Structure 1
Amino acid sequence: MSSLFDCRDQSQLLAGMRQARQAVGRGDLIVVPTDTVYGIAADAFSASAVQRLLEAKGRGRQSPPPVLVAGVNTLRALVSEVPPAVEDLVEEFWPGGLTIVLPSQPSLSWDLGDTRGTVAVRMPAHRLTLELLEETGPLAVSSANLTGKPAAVTVLDAMNMLGGSVSTYLDDGPSATGVASTIVDATSLVVGPEPVVRVLREGAIPRARLREVLGDLLEADAADEVQGQAGPESGGDS
């Protein structure tokens, strides 16, 4: 049977955090609040727990979940290299709504699905989830919804979709923004023939803000190309 804890109540907060830690240790699934939307989480180093996460969402191994971390040091342990441009992104946008895809550390023993040797990593700007991550280590986390349904912005949204597949639900009220993280692929900065950062999904962090940090390393989109073709008086990015 699933347990629900209102983390805005101090007495429930302590019990909920303890039960969430225990659930992760057993390989069970939990739902946690983040700064973007609610997430369904599992121990990133438990292949069976990650598989249960995918099954709970109705998702296959071809859609591996991102990994939430408590800080930059954990990022460095999970990926093969952190290029200077990614250092700049992390300094500007973490903790926050930016997920970064990089080649994973080949020595790690884990199975997130069909990752093709990469991992998507984010540090959330949410005090409870960061505290939990400090104690559990990296968590595989995906939006707390069934595949094809809107992301959960309240814990009840998540419960209505995921039900008893989740052991513990942590409630911290409605999501602050309800906007999923922006996802960028920076793998070519490490292994590609041409260094470029691609936006896989624009969300909490606008492309324009990424451009301010990355400059020409950010792959041009259709709007950029149109502006560029219009000539220097069009007001395009320099």
Structure 2
Amino acid sequence: MTERLAADADGIARAASLLRGGGLVAFPTETVYGLGADARSDRAVAAIFAAKDRPRFNPLIVHLPQMDAAHDLATLNGEADRLARAFWPGPLTLVLPLRTGAGLSPLVTAGLATVALRVPAAPLARDLLARAGIPVAAPSANPSGRVSAVTADHVLRGLGGRIDAVLDGGPCPVGVESTILAVTDEGTRLLRPGGLPVEAVEACLGASLLPPEKTHRPNAPGQLASHYAPAGRLRMNVTDPERDEVLLAFGGTGGDLDLSPTGDLAEAAANLFRHLQELDRRGAARIAVSPVPDRGLGLAINDRLRRAAAPRGSF
């Protein structure tokens, strides 16, 4: 049975103890729920991949309670240090050179010479990470390729009985995963749009981000072509849905569910996975999604929708 832990001192202590003992604990961040395990333990990290049915070539993000802890695992200098100081804690993941002797399981990095790090902003997540006292590898807490979880109920629906516990901190306010960046010799590259708008990053750097590279092997999470998918087939940028399609609307365009009736992109991001989870619960076989502006958080929303609409199992 999967324990459901309250977001209080006892619940945090229990979750931290499970993590230190090699268990799997789902916990809320400001973006989505993560499925945490001791990033130093091959056995614990392998259990993440098994619980999610996640391919092992897909690297994981390591979550830390504060920026200082990142220096033990990776090299931060130049633009990476500037970005970390500007946006940590927050919905930003940095892919950084892995330090020799960092002590992480090679399963975390999928054997790469880099590691993805994040300091979440959610107080409950940071309390748990500090109490656990270990680096915590944590992909989204859902079966691989399916809709991310933004409530504890979503976690239990997808992973109940396959993990040790979920720390119930209520719904996640941002609602889409973190923005992932890699600082390279050529400049800072966007690997995945997410909860930190690209415009804010570019304003911090005073330069445009480099676009994602096409790669045959992921160098960061969230790069599989088919990902974040509901059980039903999904079409995006639909203005005239077909009769057998359920409309997921935006900006008051009708439909049973609307990402944001007022056209607010932050509200739409917060509702994206929640509404897709609800359509799964209803058994929607075909889903049409209204056009969403491709700016600000709309970049992250459209990225998730494109992957949700891709042919299943593609890369």
TM-score of the superposed pair, with normalisation by structure 1 = 0.84
1:173 aligns with 2:170: yes
Between the aligned partners of 1:6 and 1:107, the Cα distance in structure 2 is 36
Query: Is 1:104 aligned to 2:95, yes or no?
Result: no
Task: Give yes or no for the alignment of 1:32 onto 2:23.
Answer: no
Q: Is the 8 A contact 1:103 1:119 kept in 2?
A: yes
Aligned mate of 2:148, from 147, 151, 170: 151
**Counterparts of 2:99 and 2:146, CA distance in 1:** 32
Question: Is 1:131 matched with 2:127?
Answer: yes
Q: Distance in 2 between matches of 1:145 and 1:63?
A: 15
User: How far did residue 131 of structure 1 move?
Assistant: 1.2
Gaps of 5+ in 1: 8-12, 189-193, 224-238
The residue that corresponds to 2:187 in the other structure is 196
Residue 37 of structure 1 and its aligned partner are, at CA, apart by 0.5
CA contact (8 A) 1:154 1:175 kept: yes
The structure with more helix, counted as a fraction of residues: 1
The amino acid across from 1:152 in the alignment is: A
Q: Per the alignment, in what secondary structure is the counterpart of residue 100 of structure 2?
A: coil
Alpha-carbon distance in 2 for matches of 1:107, 1:23: 25
The aligned counterpart of 1:2 is 2
Name the counterpart of 1:218.
Answer: 209
May I ask how many residue pairs the two structures share in their alignment? 210
Which one of the candidate residues 199, 214, 227 is aligned to 1:208?
A: 199
Superposition RMSD in Å? 1.6
Which residue pairs with 1:63 in the alignment?
58
Instruction: For residue 218 of structure 1, report the CA deviation from its aligned partner.
Output: 2.6
Structure 2 gaps of 5+ residues are 213-293, 295-315
Percent identical residues: 34
Using the alignment, how far apart are the partners of 2:96 and 2:206 within structure 1?
19
Is 1:20 paired with 2:11? no
Judge conservation of contact 1:36–1:175 (CA < 8 Å) in 2. yes
Alignment-derived partner of residue 86 in structure 2: 92
Relative CO higher for 1 or 2, CA cutoff 8 Å, sep ≥ 6? Answer: 1
Deviation at 1:163, TM superposition (A): 1.2
2-structure distance, mates of 1:112, 1:23: 21
- Asked whether the 8 Å contact 1:28–1:42 carries over to 2, the reply is yes
After superposition, the Cα gap between the structure-2 partners of 1:115 and 1:217, relative to the gap in structure 1 and judged at 3 Å, is farther
1:75 aligned residue: 70
| CA-CA distance at 1:109 after TM superposition | 2.5
**Which of 181, 189, 210 matches 1:184?**
181
Runs of at least 4 residues off by over 6 Å: none
Structure 1 CA distance for aligned equivalents of residues 11 and 211 of structure 2: 45
Kindly provide the CA deviation profile for residues 178-235 of structure 1, in whole angstroms up to 9, marking residues without a partner as x.
Answer: 111101112x2xxxxx3311111101111111111123373158x9xxxxxxxxxxxx
Q: Shift of residue 61 of structure 1?
A: 1.6
Cα contact 1:44–1:112 (8 A) shared by 2: no
Query: TM-score, normalized by length of structure 2?
Result: 0.64
